[in-house]
Amino acid sequence: MSLGQHLTELRKRFIIGLVALVVGMVAAYFLTDWIIWAMTEPIRVVAEKRGEDVGLMIDTVTGAFDLRLRISFAVGIIISAPIWLWQLWAFLMPGLTRKEIRYTIGFVAAAIPLFFAGCFVGWWVMPHIVEIMASFTPEGAANWFQAKYYYDFVFKLVIVVGVSFVVPVFLVALNLAGIMTGRAILKAWRVAVLIAVGFAGLATPAADVVSMLLLAGILVVLFFAAAGLSMLFDRRRAKRARAELGPIA
């Protein structure tokens, strides 16, 4: 294909993906009431425990609409992901070799479930963080959570934890690309454990030790799984190389 044909193809794929995103946002808008209700459940728990008025504060005229728009955009991206991911894949696939296509399919098949598993863990940890942080509020002070910052906190926590679950897949991808060996990955286990604990400590409040240890433990297990899988791939490659060389006279 010429450069002009490539650009035409890219525009076509982009428009289809954009339309899918808009449709996903419109569909997600009708779910915003349920999402806001689920997202603010920890606030209602805090209000019940403290026996005082605690709520989500919207301090601008357009704040309520902005909140729904932000939620619609985030959920719309997720809903429309199969379509825009396929458009991206269809645009790139003609330039990939058969081996690269196989690796890419395996990468996506592993990364997507891990990402959603991480998002679930982030969503599960979030109420504990809100409740524990609210427990430090002194007598005479009130908890009113500004809608914009509360949404940013929830969204960023869920996304960051989701992405952290995908990191081991990148390690395996580096191994398959021949950049890192399984032994090299395993040798860095002390650094990996330190990073996992540090990340879990930042993602969860210091007072919530159980959530911190749970998140750190999951990340460490995923790291060792990636190292073990990489070592298995190394062993297979070495065995295949010996078979290709044949017996040495």
- Give residue 18's domain range: 1-95
The residue out of 95, 116, 139 marking a domain boundary is 95
- Do 86 and 119 belong together in one domain? no
Give the pairing type, strands 144-146 and 55-57: parallel
- Do 119 and 71 belong together in one domain? no
150-171 pLDDT tens trace:
888 888 888 888 878 888 887 8
List phi, psi (to 5°) of 57.
Answer: -100, 125
Please tell me the total count of domains within the chain: 2
- Do 77 and 141 belong together in one domain? no
Task: Give me the average pLDDT of each 10-residue run along the chain (249 residues).
Answer: 73 88 90 88 79 77 88 85 77 68 74 83 82 76 81 83 82 76 85 85 68 82 86 82 65
Mean pLDDT, the chain, rounded, equals: 80
Residues 6+ apart with CB under 8 A from 163: 115, 118
Which pLDDT belongs to residue 87? Answer: 79
Give the tokens for residue 231. 């070592």
Residue 48: how many other CB atoms lie within 10 Å: 10
pTM: 0.71
Query: What is the rounded CA–CA span in Å between residue 126 and residue 134?
Result: 12
53-93 pLDDT tens trace:
777 888 888 888 888 998 898 888 878 877 887 777 777 66
The residue out of 95, 113, 145 marking a domain boundary is 95
